Amino acid sequence: MVNDGRASKIFRSERVRRAQPVEVADRLALNSRLDGTIHTLSSAVKRALPPGRLRNLLHGVPFGHPVHAPLTDVPIGAWTSVAFLDLIPGTRRASQTLIAAGLAGAIPTALTGLTDWSSLHREQQRVGLIHAVSTATATTFYAASLIARKRGRDLDGKILSYAGLTALITGAYLGGHLAFRQAAGANHAESINHLVPLGWHDLGSIEDLPDGWPVARMLGYISLFVLRIDNAVYVMTDRCAHLAGPLHQGRVVEIDDEACVVCPWHGSTFRVADGSVVDGPATGSQPAFDTRILEDGTVQVRPV
Ligand code: FES
């Protein structure tokens, strides 16, 4: 290949494009160097937080969506305000109060984030680990800043705060990447009902459905979870609301006398009658369908 001036210009412009922050974050998602650490840490979090009330609360199940993202507003809001207050004379006490408020808010923020992170895909966990390291670094800088300010070393305190802000912005960017580019925390089943035309649709004969054993059935190009129990048929979207796992491959269990399905990927548990969440990490209900059985045994479904 001839190494003329034009070729070297193309090479330079490509280097500039690849240096974009989003490219760096995308490369982080593909870097497997920390996978051993990720496996050890996420297993430890799952062991410490078995399925149940506390874990559901930390995921945000009672609120219907993850609570980690809204909680980040407390430290980010408090510490960003400090950056402006530090430029104004006579705001010493206000800055100290806001740093302390941010530190208090960082505790539930970290706990909820760690809980959500333990049940993500590996690519999301790689970005999430660096996000956590960045925000933990920011928290350490702000704690050191508060100590310095309390000891009367205000200039040191301000320098430490600005160092913390730099780490905080890095962590916030990666958090945004996780939520909006990698769709961690988003509901992965919400759009499905909108893709099914209104009204009743044939799904096949009840005789073709195994009793007590979930199967997948296609409605157009939409995959549905179908469970027959005696003469009742329950139908939900097959893509798990958490991260789109195939629910028809999950275990059917009975909880409080109600049939539920446990997602094979991260254990979210849904009542098959209405798709409501029993256990997270999913926080949004699984879209369920109305069903009816015609006299000839044809099962019909329609979006609720
Ligand atoms: S995909 Fe994660 S629990 Fe279903």
pLDDT tens, 89-134? 989 999 999 999 999 999 999 999 999 999 999 999 999 999 999 9
The CA 296 to ligand 1 mean position distance, Å, reads 36
The CA 105 to ligand 1 mean position distance, Å, reads 28
Least confident of 7-21, 190-204, 246-260: 7-21
Q: Which atom of ligand 1 is nearest to the CA of 188?
A: 1
Residue 91's closest CA among 194, 175, 161? 161
Report the C-alpha gap between 298 and 233 in whole angstroms.
11
The CA 280 to ligand 1 mean position distance, Å, reads 8
pLDDT at 2 over 50: no
CB 103 within 8 A of CB 206: no
Structure confidence at residue 206 (pLDDT) = 93
Query: Which of 247, 268, 285 for mutating ligand 1's site (highest number of atoms within 8 Å of CB)?
Result: 268
Structure confidence at residue 190 (pLDDT) = 80
Q: What is the pTM of this model?
A: 0.87
Please confirm whether the linkage preceding 281 is cis (ω < 30° from 0).
Answer: yes
- Band (pLDDT 50/70/90 cuts) for residue 15 is low
The CA 266 to ligand 1 mean position distance, Å, reads 5
Least confident of 57-71, 186-200, 211-225, 289-303: 186-200
The CA 46 to ligand 1 mean position distance, Å, reads 14
Average pLDDT over residues 149-162: 96
Mean pLDDT of the chain: 91
Structure confidence at residue 1 (pLDDT) = 40
Q: Which residues line ligand 1 (CB under 6 A)?
A: 240, 242-245, 263, 265-268, 281-282
Residue type, 275: G
Q: Which atom of ligand 1 is nearest to the CA of 267?
A: 3
Structure confidence at residue 86 (pLDDT) = 95
The CA 167 to ligand 1 mean position distance, Å, reads 31
Q: Which atom of ligand 1 is nearest to the CA of 282?
A: 3
SS3 content of the chain, % helix, strand, coil (to 5): 50, 20, 30
Report the C-alpha gap between 165 and 137 in whole angstroms.
10
Query: Which of 61, 190, 260, 266 for mutating ligand 1's site (highest number of atoms within 8 Å of CB)?
Result: 266
Q: Which atom of ligand 1 is nearest to the CA of 244?
A: 1
DSSP 18-72: HTSHHHHHHHHHH--TTHHHHHHHHHHHHHHS-SSHHHHHHHTGGGTS-SHHHHH
Reading the block at residue 40, the tokens are 């050890």
The CA 55 to ligand 1 mean position distance, Å, reads 15
- Token look-up 């609570």 returns 67
Reading the block at residue 250, the tokens are 């999950």
> pLDDT (tens digit, 9 = 90+) per residue, 206-219?
999 999 999 999 98
Q: Which atom of ligand 1 is nearest to the CA of 264?
A: 4
Query: Which of 242, 261, 277 for mutating ligand 1's site (highest number of atoms within 8 Å of CB)?
Result: 242
pLDDT at 9 over 70: no
Structure confidence at residue 3 (pLDDT) = 47
Q: Which long-range contacts (CB under 8 A, 24 or more apart) does 235-239 make?
A: 235/203, 235/288, 235/289, 235/291, 235/301, 236/270, 236/272, 236/275, 236/286, 236/287, 236/288, 236/289, 237/189, 237/192, 237/193, 237/275, 237/286, 237/287, 237/288, 239/188, 239/189, 239/192
Q: Which atom of ligand 1 is nearest to the CA of 243?
A: 1
Q: Which long-range contacts (CB under 8 A, 24 or more apart) does 94-103 make?
A: 95/149, 95/157, 95/161, 96/146, 96/149, 96/150, 99/142, 99/145, 99/146, 99/149, 99/161, 100/146, 101/74, 102/74, 102/75, 102/77, 102/78, 102/142, 103/75, 103/139, 103/142, 103/143, 103/146
- Band (pLDDT 50/70/90 cuts) for residue 191 is confident
Higher-scoring residue by pLDDT: 159, 219: 159
The CA 43 to ligand 1 mean position distance, Å, reads 16
The CA 120 to ligand 1 mean position distance, Å, reads 8
